[in-house]
Amino acid sequence: MGSSDVTEARPVAAQAARHPLEPLTEEEIRAAVAVVRAQGRLSERARYPTVVLMEPPKERVLSFTEGDPIDRQVEFVVLDKEHKATYEVVVSVTRGEIVSWQQAPEGSQPPVLWEEWDEAEEAVKSDPRFVDACKRRGIENLDHVMVDPVSAGNFGFEHERGRRLVRGVAYWRRDGRDNGYAYPIEGVIPIVDLYERKVVELWEGSEITLPPTHGRYDAEGVGEFRTDLRPLEIHQPEGVSFSVDGNRLRWQKWDLRVSLRSREGLVLHTVSYDGRPIMYRAGLAEMVVPYGDTSQAHFWKAVFDAGEYGLGKMANSLEFGCDCLGEIEYLDAMFCGEQGEPMRIKNAICLHEEDYGILWKHFDARSNETEVRRSRRFVISYICTVGNYEYGFYWYLYQDGAIEHEIKATGIMQTKGLLDGDDPGYATVVAPRLAAPHHQHFFNYRLDMTVDGLRNSVYEVDAEPLPIDPNTNPYGQAMKPRASLVARESEAARDLDLSRNRFWKVVNSNVTNEHGAPTAYRLIPGQNATLLCHPDSAMARRARFAQHHLWVTAYDPEERYAAGGYPNQSDPEVLAGIPKWQQADRNLENEDVVLWYTFGITHFPRPEDWPVAPVERVGFSLKPYGFFSRNPALDVPPPMDHCEPSG
């Protein structure tokens, strides 16, 4: 870049993007931030919690052909802590100008920032009441204290109104490598105002001394390792079968784009199979982890990890052979740091192929011939760390047209300290004088489907056993799927029903397969749960997306986050997110529809989850359901000479 003012003012880097959905480049981020700063409206304490590509209108993306001009736009949420104000700004990098600048709705709190982790800890440690509480628990050296800034929630407490808050959850560490979650500093919760960087309130209950046992899980802490594991290596001597071009991925008949967005994490765009569109966009639209412990130190915990912290920006740099095994390709992720500086996370997205057992098989006993094919899947994944927990997010694409999403939840549980003989309450004892509160994890995925085109309809399908009828069902075994159209938004908050083997299908009634049936994909639930906190509780009302399993809305590009734009400290009295949008009661038949699928885990902790929890898997699948006219994976060749069909 040149140094003259003329060069500075010129539109920057637009030529870099070859497709409207390519992630922002370092140059684009710099240029966009410069445009915002040049307005001169922000103070020194302005921060950039969200700086992401403003995805162009769907029509423009879908009709894009290489070489078309692209207006690259960047969407900002700016938090000016000096002015206690949040702005929503859109900048055209191509034109070097502000497209829009508006104040966020009253009470909007952007996510907790990285710097606020440090600031909150500092504020807590310099509060004399906290120092005193530590002393009374035998902790003199505050260097050994760590403080997690946990999102405050909103319980309508008058003195918390208008503040930017976190509640400090403090732990003690023997040394820098210790697992602090083994030593909760129980019964003291400082509440920090992040604007003022000070403790504004400190709640203190009964004095509970530190539990006696460490929670180390590293080599040194564990001691002896088992010795009977031999190497397992995965090689693809002729290289991988997928190709990467920018953020476009092609594998087998799949063609898609990926991006890692700071809030939602991994997003799949324009997913197609054999040239036929299936999904325009798929990504996590919010998640929440409501805790069931009613004690004063824990009752308020319900973390919305996406909207209150940002999943993508917490992405790990993945390590070969550790996080991912095989012939791996990585994609870096480019974010904007909170001070407005570009920030690259190396090896944030992992791409690889996996053997996945058999794809199909039949042994013909009469001819003594076997046909068997191996299944291979393409894995697109990333892992993020949000405080104590890790979440791995995995998209799998299969050769038979199936798409699967799996979340691997691991990391360390929230803990609470006990005194000898204490009833743990709504928590499970996992170590001496240490318990882990009961909680749930809910995830909502926004699935903008395009099954063979934009216009789709959604049906709820129940398996129906038919009554005995002397003419049509004399022996009582008749069964059939009964499909009911989800016609309008007023009837589009649906729940799973195991007694009916319920699933949902997304149908294109304008396209038929060879058997005359409309083409379709079905959404197959995996493990799931129902939200256990009372529907009238503040938690449940702030996380309404978790009150039903499937929601359907008519497409609106503004409707992106299941619990609304600003779940941090969101007011439970204010209806936000999916149920609010559904009040429009839009038509859903043969429309551009969006599915919002909620699934969850009820986590009653086990001792086996301590000190670090083995991966718990949860997810869902999307499978063709008359999208093809026969098994689409017949053309997968046999893997080895000796499995080859005899001719």
Residues acting as catalytic residues: 305, 389
Q: How far apart are CA 115 and CA 120, in angstroms?
A: 9
User: Shortest gap between Cβ of 602 and Cu ion (angstroms)?
Assistant: 9
> Is 564 or 600 the residue whose CB approaches Cu ion more closely?
600
The Cα 255–Cα 278 span in angstroms is: 10
Residue whose CB is less far from Cu ion, 377 or 603: 603
**Nearer residue to Cu ion within complex by CB, 194 or 287:** 287
Segment holding 449, helix H or strand E: strand 439-449
Q: CB 436 → Cu ion: shortest distance, Å?
A: 8
Residue nearest to Cu ion (CB): 603
Say which amino acid occupies 353: E
In the complex, minimum distance from the CB of residue 409 to Cu ion, in angstroms, rounded to a whole number: 6
Reading the block at residue 500, the tokens are 């009916």
The distance of Cα 501 from the centroid of its chain, to the nearest Å, equals 26
Q: Tell me whether residue 281 or residue 603 sits nearer to Cu ion (CB atom).
A: 603
Interface contacts to Cu ion, rule CB under 5 A: 603
Residue 596 beta carbon to Cu ion: minimum distance, rounded to whole angstroms: 22
Tell me how many degrees the CA angle 478-480-486 measures, rounded to the nearest 5.
155
Q: Which is nearer to Cu ion, 289 or 492 (CB)?
A: 289
Instruction: Tell the smallest beta-carbon distance from residue 389 to Cu ion (Å).
Output: 7
Instruction: Tokens for 421, please give them.
Output: 């003989």
Report the 10 Å Cβ neighbour count for 502. Answer: 17
The helix (H) or strand (E) run that includes residue 593 is strand 593-603
Q: How far apart are the first and last CA of the chain?
A: 64
Smallest distance from Cu ion to CB 545, Å: 18
The two three-digit tokens of residue 358, written as one number: 């058999």
Distance, in Å, from the CA atom of 79 to the CA atom of 298, rounded to the nearest integer, reads: 28
CA distance 248 to 21: 9
Nearer to Cu ion, 313 or 603 (CB): 603
Q: What's 21's DSSP letter?
A: T
**Secondary structure in 3-state letters for 220-288:** HHHCCCCCCCCCCCCCCCCCCCEEEECCEEEECCEEEEEEEECCCEEEEEEEEECCEEEEEEEEEEEEE
